[in-house]
Amino acid sequence: MKKVMFVCKHNSRRSQMAEGFMRILGDGKIAASSSGLAASEVDPITVEVMAEIGIDISNQNSQALSNFNPEDYDAVISLCGCGVNLPEAWVLREVFEDWQLDDPAGQSIATFRRVRDEVKERVVKLIASLS
């Protein structure tokens, strides 16, 4: 089974969405984790917009990247352009992508929904490329 790490600055919005989508759409064939350069908390609006489309991420937690081992992952996806700040071992995995999606923090719910839909589109493409 392939393992993917989604990483962002705070692990509170985009990376949480990506983990939620991968858990559902990866269909048990791809394992997903998410983390941040620093741990924070999952944004309640993120939980809300994922629930709108039937994905419950209310039990996901924000975790620091330093709690994980890069060798455990096949693919590492940065969602915020923070790839330049990652330790080299993370960037040198079999697959590394930097998606650079907008941070919806402090924005309207419409922005959260747009970012959610962009994350879903990218996760679907990632699943196809890893399968």
Question: Among all residues, which ones are annotated catalytic?
Answer: 8, 80
Q: Answer left, alpha or beta for residue 84, where phi above 0 means left and psi between -120 and 50 means alpha.
A: alpha
DSSP code, position 99: -
Q: To which residue do tokens 């993120």 refer?
A: 46
Beta-carbon contacts of residue 69 (< 8 Å; ≥ 6 apart): none
Asked if 81 and 71 touch (Cβ cutoff 8 Å), the reply is: no
